[in-house]
Amino acid sequence: MLLKKSPAKKKIVIVIQTRLGSTRLPGKVLKPLASEKLLLRIYERISFSKIADEIIIATTTSEKDDVLAEICKNENIKCFRGSEDDLLERHYKAGIDSNAGIVVKIPSDCPLIDYRIIDKVLRFYLDNKSKYDFVSNLHPATYPDGNDVEVIPMNILEIAYNEAKSKMEREHTTPFIWERPDRFKIGNVVWETGKDYSMTHRFTIDYPEDYDFIKAVYNELYFNNPKFSLNDILKFLEKKPEIKKINEKYAGVNWYREHLDELKTIKKDQTKIL
């Protein structure tokens, strides 16, 4: 009697997108956090995931990013180099290069990301993969900004790669998908507390104040527990509200809200095509 083979598990690859050419805070991923480079701290945070199979740092082919590739080489971290401005292409080709079945997009400006949230979003997708083409915790967002997780099956990422035309769709990887709910089945994971801290708590890094905030959190929590959680951060901020105020003026500022007019234009163009 021949045994039926179970379907092969699709390889889950987390892609950390990074480059040194930040306009607001150049070289931010090289800044020190708890005696190590920020890039390596976010890699460490993500590496605690119990579900992901592989992590890739995806940087650009620009000479100025040679230092990032060298860091990856020295630390035995897989690195992919691709387009500087076309992040959709970079993610797609990184997925191809690693033989991924599922790509998880996480930006390198999220050094406080909680691996438990990554695994929660991944588990939701895996438990409901027949229902959704794309799953994130961003549409709408409820977690503090800087816990961004987007899960894209390679077949859907390939469609976006082949069809996306606008600069914004290419530059930000996933808008082509989540701006077309009539075509793609979109899933979203909300914070189980029922709270929405997406506009009030900022855990991402774009400005010097963000770095000062994140550094203060690391100095307080990391050395006691490198796996410190979102709840650990929130408890710390309750005890020391002055830390939260360091970058509070930027709470709610992100690329999505900055590009709302462009998104509206894309939607109008879609309507014209239909």
Q: What is the pLDDT of residues 69-126, one digit of tens each?
A: 999 999 999 999 999 999 999 999 999 999 999 999 999 999 999 999 999 999 999 9
Q: What is the pTM of this model?
A: 0.90
Q: For 216-270, how does the pLDDT look when each residue is reduced to its tens digit (9 = 90+)?
A: 999 999 999 999 999 999 999 999 999 999 999 999 887 555 554 555 454 545 4
CATH code: domain 12-273 is: 3.90.550.10
**Cβ pair 12, 150 in contact under 8 A:** no
Decide: helix, strand or coil at residue 150.
strand
Q: For residues 212 and 203, is the Cβ–Cβ distance under 8 A? A: no
55 DSSP β-pair partners: 14
CB 58 within 8 A of CB 94: yes
Q: What is the pLDDT of residue 82?
A: 97
Q: Are 177 and 134 in contact (CB under 8 A)?
A: yes
The whole-angstrom separation of Cα 33 and Cα 53 is 26
Is residue 57 within 8 A of residue 73, CB to CB? The reply is no
